[in-house]
């Protein structure tokens, strides 16, 4: 049945057999699943489901539930039930009336015996438990500065039932849950990437409390991305002479060659930028993917402006790869397979200017001073809390500026 679910997803996407998908296709699927379900499955998990990485013999119930929800079902059980065809229903069999009477007689005697032996005092009592936010306490505090960073969660879950399953979920990722003891009051989690997260207290699968966890950086942080634990780069390997860069020499020091395997690097600047929000801002960045012969040939770059509760994600790539690009902003997901995003195809032989302008309820996106896309912004403004830049292979950033009509909020230092 798992294979059938996989086939249904392939049919829905229309990308052909998953055995022929690229890494970018799995990244796109991960984003589409998140947009549809608000739950995320990692690229590695998806590859395992599709048999493209070390296969999981029995995928977890949580993974199957998310994939089923992506297909429009309530959960995995609902998907399985929906696939039952008419052939699963036994055909009506004609039974002689004498046998029917005999069966009825046996059933009648059985019911009578059960009634005689039934002890009303021993009937099971099903008690529904209703939880309220006021019944619980859930707070957090960070331990250190920089990354990785541990967060201490202080909680009181004594209102939960004795046999309740109680968990803390670190972020949007349901796989990042830890089980906690009802009688304890402290738990710790480690965060390996900076960002703005929404931690949740979960009782028997229901979120009863949630609050934001902000993991800032100290200046710019460079990472070599990996599915589990990223590699942290020294500042001198990232920022110098008024620009940011992660070069091939840096990757070589870690034994990595983007010509042979997909390698992604990231730059993060997470801080409190003050009184600037999504309703009005100008964000501009000049960047270049500096690796000419990446494993995919696409030379992708991705720019994120992170706000409280979400992010604006803008992609760039070689012109031949625009069909693999996707824009993410304000709860919308613009799929390059269904939308003309050719304006985001660029020539990375030189640096590229990207600008985001939010004003009067509209976001305009400019690539090399040409309007590439526009859309409506959030009705309720959200504070801007970070910038992240991602490159397939290696990359360089010459200029970063964030401002509104009143102030220049951030500028990459000379």
Q: Sign of dihedral through CA atoms 386, 392, 397, 400?
A: negative
pLDDT level of residue 104 (50, 70, 90 thresholds): very low
Average pLDDT (62-72) is 89
Neighbours of 176 (CB within 10 A): 15
Residue 348 has pLDDT above 80, yes or no: yes
Question: Which residues neighbour 329 within 8 Å (Cβ) at sequence distance 6 or greater?
Answer: 311, 312, 313, 363, 375
CA angle 282, 288, 292 (to 5 degrees): 160
* Residues 9, 414: Cα–Cα separation, whole Å: 49
- Listed in sequence order, the DSSP H helices in 228-381 are 248-253
- Between 105-114, 215-224, 226-235, the lowest mean confidence (pLDDT) is in 105-114
Asked if the model's pLDDT at residue 390 lies above 90, the reply is yes
pLDDT confidence of 158, banded at 50, 70, 90? very high
- Tell me the C-alpha distance between 224 and 263, whole Å: 8
Q: Which helix (H) or strand (E) holds 378?
A: none
Q: CA 232, 307, 298 angle in degrees (round to 5)? A: 55
Query: Closest Cα to residue 67, out of 16, 33, 102?
Result: 33
**DSSP characters for 82-107?**
HT--GGGSPPP----HHHHHHHHHHH
Dump strand ranges (E) for 290-392.
301-307, 310-318, 326-329, 332-335, 345-346, 352-359, 362-367, 370-376, 384-392
The structural domains of the chain, with segments of one domain joined by +, span: 2-82, 133-215, 221-411
Give the chain's radius of gyration (CA, Å): 27
Q: How far apart are the first and last CA of the chain?
A: 58
Q: What is the mean pLDDT of residues 181-199?
A: 93
- With a cut of 90, say whether residue 227 has pLDDT above it: no
Give the range with max mean pLDDT: 43-57, 110-124, 147-161: 147-161
40 or 349, which is more confident? 349
Q: Is the pLDDT of residue 92 over 90?
A: no
Among 77-86, 110-119, 202-211, the minimum mean pLDDT is found in 110-119
The pLDDT assigned to 309 comes to 86
Q: What is the CATH number of domain 221-411?
A: 2.60.120.200
241: left (phi over 0), alpha (psi -120 to 50) or beta: left
Residue 246: the pLDDT is 96
User: How many of the other CB atoms lie within 10 Å of CB of 353?
Assistant: 16
Res 381: pLDDT: 94
At the fourth CATH level, the homologous superfamily of domain 133-215 is Immunoglobulins (2.60.40.10)
| pTM, entire model | 0.69
What are the φ/ψ torsions at residue 87 (nearest 5 degrees)? -70, -15
Percent of all residues in the chain with a pLDDT value above 70, rounded to a whole number: 87
């Amino acid at each position: 049945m798992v294979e059938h679910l996989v086939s249904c997803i392939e049919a829905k996407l229309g990308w052909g057999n998953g055995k022929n998908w690229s890494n970018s296709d799995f990244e796109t699927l991960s984003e589409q699943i998140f947009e549809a379900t608000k739950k995320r499955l990692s690229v590695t998990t998806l590859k395992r489901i599709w048999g493209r990485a070390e296969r999981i013999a029995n995928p977890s119930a949580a993974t199957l539930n998310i994939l089923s929800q992506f297909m429009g079902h309530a959960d995995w059980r609902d998907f399985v039930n929906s696939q039952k065809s008419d052939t699963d229903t036994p055909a009506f069999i004609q039974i002689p009336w004498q046998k029917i009477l005999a069966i009825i007689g046996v059933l009648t005697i059985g019911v009578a015996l059960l009634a005689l032996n039934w002890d009303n005092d021993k009937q099971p009592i099903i008690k529904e438990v209703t939880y309220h936010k006021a019944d619980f306490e859930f707070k957090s505090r960070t331990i250190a500065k920089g990354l990785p960073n541990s967060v201490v969660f202080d909680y009181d879950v004594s209102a939960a039932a004795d046999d309740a399953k109680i968990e803390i979920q670190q972020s949007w990722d349901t796989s990042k849950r830890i089980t906690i003891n009802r009688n304890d009051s402290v738990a710790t989690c480690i965060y390996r990437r900076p960002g703005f997260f929404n931690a949740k207290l979960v009782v028997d699968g229901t979120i009863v409390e949630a609050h934001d966890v902000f993991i800032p950086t100290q200046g710019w942080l460079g990472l070599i991305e990996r599915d589990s634990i990223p590699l942290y780069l020294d500042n001198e390997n990232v920022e110098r002479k008024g620009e940011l860069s992660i070069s091939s020499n840096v990757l070589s020091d870690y034994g990595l060659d983007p010509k042979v395997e997909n390698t992604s690097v990231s730059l993060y600047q997470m801080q409190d930028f003050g009184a600037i929000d999504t309703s009005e801002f100008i964000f501009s960045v000049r960047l270049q993917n500096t690796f000419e012969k990446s494993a995919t040939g696409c030379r992708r770059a991705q720019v994120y402006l992170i706000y409280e509760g979400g992010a604006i994600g803008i992609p760039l790539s070689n012109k031949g790869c625009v069909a693999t690009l996707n824009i993410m902003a304000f709860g919308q997901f613009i799929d390059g397979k269904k939308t003309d995003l050719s304006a985001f195809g660029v020539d990375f032989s030189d640096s590229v200017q990207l600008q985001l302008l939010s004003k009067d309820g509209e976001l305009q996106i400019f690539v090399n001073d040409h309007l590439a896309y526009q859309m409506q912004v959030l009705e309720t403004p959200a504070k801007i809390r970070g910038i992240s830049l991602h490159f397939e292979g290696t990359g360089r950033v010459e200029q970063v500026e964030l401002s509104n009509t009143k102030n220049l909020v951030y500028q990459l230092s000379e």
